[in-house]
Amino acid sequence: MVRVVATGKQGRKRSRRGPAIGVVAAALGMAMLPAVAVPDVAPVAKAEQPQGKVLRVAVTQDIKKLNPFQGTSLVDTQVGRLMYEFLVIPNATDSTPEGALAESWTPSQDGKTWTFKMRKGVQWSDGQPITAKDVEFTYNQIMTNPGAKDANEVAVASFESVKATDPETVEIRTKFVNVAVIGSVGEIPIVPEHVWRDKVAGIKDFKNEQTPVVGSGPYVLSGVESGRSVTLKANDKFWRGRPKVDTLQMVKYENTEAASQALIKGDADLVYNLTPAQYRTLEKTSGIKASAGRNRRFTEIIMHTGAKKADGSTWGTGNPVLADVEFRKALDHAVNRKTLIEKVFGGYAEEATQLIPPVYPDWTFKLSDDKKRNFDIGKANSILDAAGYRKGDGGARLDKQGKPITLRLLSRNDRAEQAQMAEYVKEWFGQLGVTVDHKSIASSQLNDDTTSGNFDLSFSGWSVGPDPDNMLGQQLCKLVGTELGDTNICNPEYDRLFAQQQAELNKDKRKETVQRMQQMLYDNVSAIMLSYDKLLEAYRSDRFTTFVTQPQNGGIINNQSGYWGYYGATPVGETPPAGAPKAAEQTNSDSDSSGLGTGGWAAIIIGAVVVLGGLGLLGARRKRVSADDRE
């Protein structure tokens, strides 16, 4: 007799259940107890229930730090923009700087001192006046307090000193003449000195979640659930006028599919970063308006051009053929951007030629038709022939040493579109006789390989700020082979022009220089520019009539370099807030199609399957029971 456990004495009734099951259950119960020593759960700022007219945004990026000195994720900086006003802000029309806390600004004769005149009568959400002292305090923290550098160190890099000469005047002195100062101050949220003064020692660990948080932007923070959601309330004291949305909630979704489902269901009012397929589904759903906004992002293929590092050393293992500008030209001619945009981006992108996207029209150069490198395999082949790359047996293109050319192409395995594009590129380059060895790898490894130069071609992309200084600065000679470089190309003339545009106080002249620099990069084929990707967004048009986009004409609602999208959100039955720029006419039509939608139909089908399955099981059971009876 093999009765397993020695609990038989506990009585017949219990042992009937099988003592071993009891043991397993007990053990499972223990698993629920603290099995390992875990630290205390951190105190979470009290969540607040939404009140009044609520705008719920489904965000897919991390909500990490709401301390504006440290928040660097897209959502963090977005929340920072909503909570704290800036000295100047990129406007909604075309992102040129517009006065915010500062009413006006003027450079000194030598161009090294900028004097900002503060707007009068502006208040913090607790009623205290906003003065030049607050600006001085904020900037000085970033410049001198190591714990406050994370978010905006680069923006103040050229600052020598910041001083409030009186409550209405701030002077910023720079180390060298730098017109990008105005762009920089458009990135730094100003915090109230009277609140932050006693936080400076532990600023690094200060979470800034003790609500209500004193702010000056269109909304003030009123509740945080760590990493999961952020709740903001309309700021009655916002100098442009109170927003029409009473409560703004940002809720973290871990994937855009769930976010778009939440929009259909009505759990969310605004979603973004959609895929073309999700976008098209939402476009056809009633009560939802979809918008493909012109964005400030571009996608490119960078090349190992063989440029040397700043110390004169070579780096990595790039194929030497890429050092030849003619070879790069041929590759550029062999890429059909129209096909990529249509097949990979679902049509939601524009052809790219330069680093600065067309949403910043001031800084982009007009490419003449005769200079533009169109898709032309024949021309690409003849460029290669002329440059001395002959074809060998089997049509393989040979390098100058007579070896067949193979180029390694890296893509990120978390970006499906890159792998798709790689397939096309492989085919087109194949038509030149160039073999492409495509590897889809983790982004961390891709970063590693491109920094150390162990690649030939690699997909890349950047979000570009309103001032061209940052993006152009990433192409300087000193950044070749570092974590900071973009195209890793070196052209001393380009570097000279970079310094020139930085010191050019005349905007028209600066424009000219910036455009020349971009032309230079194009002529030099610094990278194979592919596309300006649109941001696919959608919102409940049965709850909100308009959002202000940036740029105002066909731009984006989320990921702006301003607060216009959320500030200008207008609930149905309301007029837009007084201080918001007029929303442009939306061209994307709101579909009238009604009916069940995917979810409804899927529900019906699954419901039917469940019912049929249930009936089947019931039938089977009845049959079995009767069979048992017979036994």
391 beta partners? 397
Determine, following the binding rule CB under 8 A, whether residue 74 of this chain makes contact with another protein.
Answer: yes
36 binds another protein (CB under 8 A): yes
- Residue of the chain from 14, 24, 144, 338 that contacts another protein (CB under 8 A): 24
Q: Which of residues 152-211 bind another protein (CB under 8 A)?
A: 153-154, 157
Give alpha helix (H) positions in 129-237. 132-144, 181-185, 193-196
Q: Which of residues 91-130 bind another protein (CB under 8 A)?
A: none
Hey, what amino acid is at 386? A
Q: Which of 165, 255, 314, 317 binds another protein (CB under 8 A)?
A: 255
Window 209-228: contact mask with another protein (x via CB under 8 A): --------------x-xxxx
Site string for another protein, 415-434 (x = CB under 8 A): --------------------
Nearest distance in Å: CB 261, another protein: 5
Phi, psi dihedral angles at 628 (to 5 degrees): -60, -45
Cβ closer to another protein: 89 or 434?
A: 89
User: Helix (H, G, I), strand (E, B), or coil: what is residue 177?
Assistant: coil
Stretch that binds another protein, among 343-351, 378-386, 462-470, 500-508 (CB under 8 A): 462-470
> DSSP for 561-608?
SSSHHHHT-EETT-PPPTTSPPPPPP-SPPP---S-HHHHHHHHHHHH
Residue with tokens 């390098």: 399
Show the CA angle centred on residue 451, arms to residues 516 and 410, nearest 5°: 90
Residue 626, interface with another protein (CB under 8 A)?
Answer: no
505 binds another protein (CB under 8 A): no
Single residue of 105, 116, 124, 253 touching another protein by CB under 8 A: 253
Query: Interacting stretch for another protein, rule CB under 8 A, among 34-42, 326-334, 379-387, 549-557?
Result: 34-42
Which tokens in the block code for residue 1? 């007799």
Q: Least distance (Å) from another protein to the CB of residue 68? A: 13
Residue choice 221, 251, 359, 514 for contact with another protein (CB under 8 A)? 251
Cβ pair 47, 224 in contact under 8 A: yes
396 lies in the site for another protein, by CB under 8 A: no
* HSE value, Cβ hemisphere, 13 Å, CA-based, for 212: 12
Q: Residue 218, preceding bond cis, omega within 30 degrees?
A: no
| DSSP sequence for 267-323 | S-SEE-S--HHHHHHHHTSTTEEEEEEEEEEEEEEEE---PPPTTS---S---GGGG
Of the pair 104, 443, the CB lying nearest another protein is at: 443
Distance from C-alpha of 68 to C-alpha of 545, rounded to nearest angstrom: 31
Interaction of residue 558 with another protein, rule CB under 8 A: no
The closest alpha carbon to 586, from 350, 292, 347, belongs to: 292
| DSSP helix/strand/coil, 351 | strand
Query: Is position 41 an interface residue for another protein (rule: CB under 8 A)?
Result: yes
Site size for another protein (CB under 8 A): 106
Minimum gap (Å) between residue 66 Cβ and another protein = 12
Min dist CB 350 to another protein, Å, is 20
Residue 208 C-alpha from the chain's centroid: 23
> Is 586 a residue that touches another protein (CB under 8 A)?
no
3-state class (DSSP) for residue 335 = coil
Q: Exposed, middle or buried: residue 594 (CB in 10 Å: 0-12, 13-18, 19+)?
A: exposed
286 binds another protein (CB under 8 A): no
Stretch that binds another protein, among 17-25, 79-87, 338-346, 418-426 (CB under 8 A): 17-25
Question: What would the two tokens of residue 545 be?
Answer: 């009539």
Is residue 630 near another protein by the rule CB under 8 A?
A: no
Does 443 engage in binding with another protein (CB under 8 A)? yes
Q: Choose the binding region for another protein from 131-139, 287-295, 388-396, 460-468 (rule: CB under 8 A).
A: 460-468
Pick 212 or 607: Cβ nearer another protein: 607
The residue among 36 and 578 lying less far from another protein, judged by its C-beta, is 36
50 lines the binding site for another protein (CB under 8 A): yes
Query: 247-252 and 54-59 as β-strands: parallel, antiparallel, unpaired?
Result: parallel
> For another protein, which is the closer residue by CB, 309 or 337?
309
474 binds another protein (CB under 8 A): yes
Candidate residues 18, 320, 388, 392; the one interacting with another protein per rule CB under 8 A: 18
Closest to 269 measured CA to CA, from 278, 260, 277: 260
Three-state DSSP at 52 gives coil
CB within 8 A of 242, min separation 6: which ones? 234, 235, 236, 577
Both tokens assigned to 620: 């089977």
Binding of residue 16 to another protein (CB under 8 A): yes
Q: Which of 166, 414, 437, 523 binds another protein (CB under 8 A)?
A: 414
Stretch that binds another protein, among 61-69, 429-437, 539-547, 579-587 (CB under 8 A): 61-69
Stretch that binds another protein, among 426-434, 470-478, 516-524, 551-559 (CB under 8 A): 470-478
Smallest gap from Cβ 577 to another protein, in A, equals 23
Q: Are strands 457-463 and 406-412 parallel, antiparallel or unpaired?
A: parallel
First to last CA, the chain: 27
Determine, following the binding rule CB under 8 A, whether residue 598 of this chain makes contact with another protein: yes
